[in-house]
Amino acid sequence: MTSEVVENEFEFYSKAKKYWKDVPATVDGMLGGYGHISSIDINSSRKFLQRFLRDGPNRTGTTRALDCGAGIGRITKRLLLPLFKTVDMVDVTEDFLTKAKSYLGEEGRRVHNYFCCGLQDFSPEPNSYDVIWIQWVIGHLTDNHLSDFLKRCRAGLRPNGIVVIKDNMAQEGVIMDDVDSSVCRDLDVVHKIIRRAGLHLLAEERQENFPDEIYHVYTFAMR
């Protein structure tokens, strides 16, 4: 658990904030030098998400989505805006959100809110979102903060809405990355946190066709 690897919570968050402040506001910067995997990532995410947007009595709506840890809006631009009427973005780095306004282009008019905030301090508006997308950012939250944030996300869902996490998974236990001040959890730990947040897992999928040298990446849908 993160309590075993995070010695100082304040330092854990402030170091991460400082790290991202120095990262270039580009797709390559958002993906840690792996900008070339962006299309593979987006295409897989689209297929995963569309199974919930198809017709049926429990179909997830397409009115409003929230992009958490949004950066410059890579996911907002290529995944969420093509599928949802409006999108909100939240990120801790103000420069990224500023860059997003030009990066998103004309379609960016349908982004209604740019929230500059760490997820540990962010509360989605209750009963507001069809999809809350959380990608490559849960490692920047302690277990307790992640569980609490997911509880707030659950309250932020509209009927039939879903929360999606897409992130790196460790082989075993919890691994600390001192460079960007983040943790990488194994599947078992993530499952426990999801259950603790009172969320029910609907689907889980391992990302294919990513470089061998990076962590395995999994996508989870829950409500």
Q: How many CA atoms lie within 13 A of 144 on its CB side?
A: 4
Per DSSP bridges, beta strands 174-177 and 182-185 are antiparallel
List phi, psi (to 5°) of 222. Answer: -150, 160
At 77, the pLDDT band (50, 70, 90 cuts) reads: very high
Largest Cα span, the chain: 48
Q: How many CB atoms lie within 10 A of CB 147?
A: 18
Predicted local confidence at residue 186, as pLDDT: 97
Which CATH number characterizes residue 47's domain? 3.40.50.150
Q: Is the pLDDT of residue 174 over 80?
A: yes
Predicted local confidence at residue 141, as pLDDT: 98
Per the annotation, binding residues are 69, 74, 91-93, 119-120, 135
Enumerate residues 6+ apart whose C-beta is below 8 A from 110. Answer: 81, 85, 86, 87
Rounded Cα distance, 207 and 205, in Å:
6
Give the residue numbers spanning the domain of 83.
Answer: 2-222
What distance, in Å, lies between the first and last C-alpha atoms of the chain?
23
Reported as a single tens digit per residue, the pLDDT across 123-148 is 999 999 999 999 999 999 999 999 99
Q: Please give the angle made by the CA atoms of 183, 186 and 189, to the nearest 5 degrees.
A: 90
Predicted local confidence at residue 55, as pLDDT: 76
Which secondary-structure segment (H or E) carries 149? helix 143-156
Mean pLDDT over 83-97 rounds to 98
Predicted local confidence at residue 4, as pLDDT: 80
Predicted local confidence at residue 160, as pLDDT: 97
Task: Give the residue from 142, 122, 140 showing the smallest Cα distance to 132.
Answer: 122
Report if pTM > 0.75. Answer: yes
Reported as a single tens digit per residue, the pLDDT across 5-60 is 898 999 999 999 999 999 999 999 999 999 999 999 999 999 999 999 987 888 99
Rounded Cα distance, 93 and 5, in Å:
24
Predicted local confidence at residue 3, as pLDDT: 72
Mean pLDDT over 155-178 rounds to 97
Reported as a single tens digit per residue, the pLDDT across 3-14 is 788 989 999 999
Number of domains forming the structure of the chain: 1
Q: Is the pLDDT of residue 207 over 80?
A: yes
Per the annotation, binding residues for S-adenosyl-L-methionine are 69, 74, 91-93, 119-120, 135
Rounded Cα distance, 156 and 104, in Å:
25
What Rg value do the Cα atoms of the chain yield, rounded?
A: 16
Task: Give the residue from 149, 142, 192 showing the smallest Cα distance to 5.
Answer: 142
Mean pLDDT over 202-219 rounds to 96
Predicted local confidence at residue 56, as pLDDT: 81
| Signed CA dihedral, 37, 39, 42, 45: sign only | negative
